Amino acid sequence: MTDPMLAFVATPHGQPDVEIRVNFGLFAGREATPAELDDLAAALLPETGEVTIVSEQRHELSTDAEASLHQVRVEVDVSALADDASDRETLVERLLETCNGWARRAIDARHIEV
């Protein structure tokens, strides 16, 4: 048996209609917990029916600079949920408010001074 491939080139897929990024680590000084991500999902699902939440540690490097941060990314296909541009814009605003409220509550409950 050969060793399994640990890294591979993924087939690109279409972008979600909306991607909301939450700079969680910058303000919390820590990563979001699985329970907090579950809370975010519970808050978003009534509006979306389906959502992808990615909790990621990002490292951006160059010869001149280095940055490491934790962010939460929310991906939603709003075109499947709202027919016209006005309805989609309203939905996106509600989702953004939900994400901001979730982040503020989680950070206020537990944060690390940086």
DSSP-derived 3-state class of residue 90 = helix
Residue 14 has pLDDT above 80, yes or no: no
Supply the pTM of this predicted model: 0.82
Model confidence pLDDT, tens digit, residues 33-78: 999 999 999 999 999 999 999 999 999 999 999 989 899 999 998 8
Report the amino acid identity of residue 68: S
Mean of per-residue pLDDT scores for the chain: 87
Q: Which CATH class is domain 18-109?
A: alpha beta
Q: At what angle do helices 85-109 and 34-48 cross, to 10 degrees?
A: 160
The lowest-confidence range among 1-5, 14-18, 109-113 is: 1-5
Q: Domains of the chain: which residue ranges?
A: 18-109
Cα separation, 113 vs 111, in Å, equals 7
Q: What DSSP letter does each residue of 16-67 carry, written as one string? A: PSEEEEE-HHHHHSSPPPHHHHHHHHHHHHHHHS--EEEEEEEEEE-SS-EE
